[in-house]
Amino acid sequence: MLSQRWLRLMPLHLMLLPALALLLIYSYGPITGILIAFQNFMPSKGIFGSPFIGLDNFKYVWDLPDTRQVLTNTVVIAFFKIILNLAVPILLALLLNEVRIKLFKRSVQTIVYLPYFLSWVLLGGILIDILSPSQGIVNDIIKSFGFKPLFFLGDPNWFRFTIVATDLWKEVGFNTIVFLAAVTNANPSLYEAAVIDGANRWKQTLNITLPSMLPVIILLATLSLGNVLNAGFDQIFNLYSPQVYSTGDILDTFVYRIGLIDTQYGVATAVGLFKSIISCLFISVSYFLAYRLANYRIF
């Protein structure tokens, strides 16, 4: 009896084996590197020979005069990115689901994911043009409504908004894909039943499509919570400037610019570890809450 059960489970362990082996080597192998966060790392001595200095690396970053401002910027920008990068793609997937003309649907799908493939270096140059207060097309539109032009990239009050909006513009198409797959999750027979009951499209969307997408939405929401300290290095690095440091400088750009990445490995690793711990906290809490309250395992 026992051995029969074991025989039945054996393939499941076997299926996990390749992935586990790869993770063991390439993810858990380097994990000892976390120790560097507590060291004054010296290349000549390596991870196991460098002297330990406790929490000094963390303290050093914390004591820098700009750290608190930078953390605030990071969390604010990341928070709005997380919300919008979930909500808008879901909306877009639902809207696309309503499109009956196949060619149109496919074209829109393909086109909106175009910007995802252009780098921020390139988009940075284009955005400076588009958003320019004097010549940019966006401000031309704003001016035509009789408003004063906005310096989206140079005004500290608008910079965060610009970052979140342009990020959405670049990523929305790509983020929609997974929800388009989730839409297909709904059982067609439910729609048929709903039509017979006289439910309109809106009711169907609300009562059938959305609930069937829910597991994926919850999964993505949980995982994206882990990004609460990732506000997007590449984007901000290519778009910011001294005049918007006060609202636009984030943890990653800050650490990069003050040169910690280059040689102060201890400090750089400490920052990374801090981010990991925060992510882990958010994800674990949501995982266990979902499990306790709804008896649902997110993953």
Q: Which is nearer to other proteins, 83 or 195 (CB)?
A: 195
Cβ 82 to other proteins shortest distance, Å: 15
User: Rounded to the nearest whole angstrom, what is the least distance from the CB of residue 146 to other proteins in the complex?
Assistant: 21
Least Å from the CB of residue 79 to other proteins:
19
Tell me if 96 sits within 8 A of 109, measured CB to CB. Answer: yes
**Who's near 108: CB < 8 A, 6+ residues apart?**
96, 99
Report the residue number, 22 or 294, with the smaller CB distance to other proteins.
22
* Token pair in block for residue 42: 């010296």
Q: Given the complex with other proteins, which of 83 and 259 has the nearer CB atom?
A: 259
Q: Which residues pair with 39 in a beta bridge?
A: 52
Nearer to other proteins, 43 or 54 (CB): 43
Cβ atoms within 10 Å of 103's Cβ, excluding its own: 8
Q: In Å, what is the CA distance from 152 to each residue of 12, 165, 181, 239?
A: 54, 11, 35, 10
User: Please, how many CA atoms are within 13 Å of residue 237, restricted to the half-sphere of its CB?
Assistant: 16
CB 16, min distance to other proteins, A: 5
**Shortest Cβ 111–other proteins spacing (Å):** 4
For the beta carbon of residue 38, count every other beta carbon within 10 angstroms.
20
Contact (Cβ atoms closer than 8 angstroms) between residue 77 and residue 160 = yes
Q: Which CB atom, from 83 or from 125, has the smaller least distance to other proteins?
A: 125
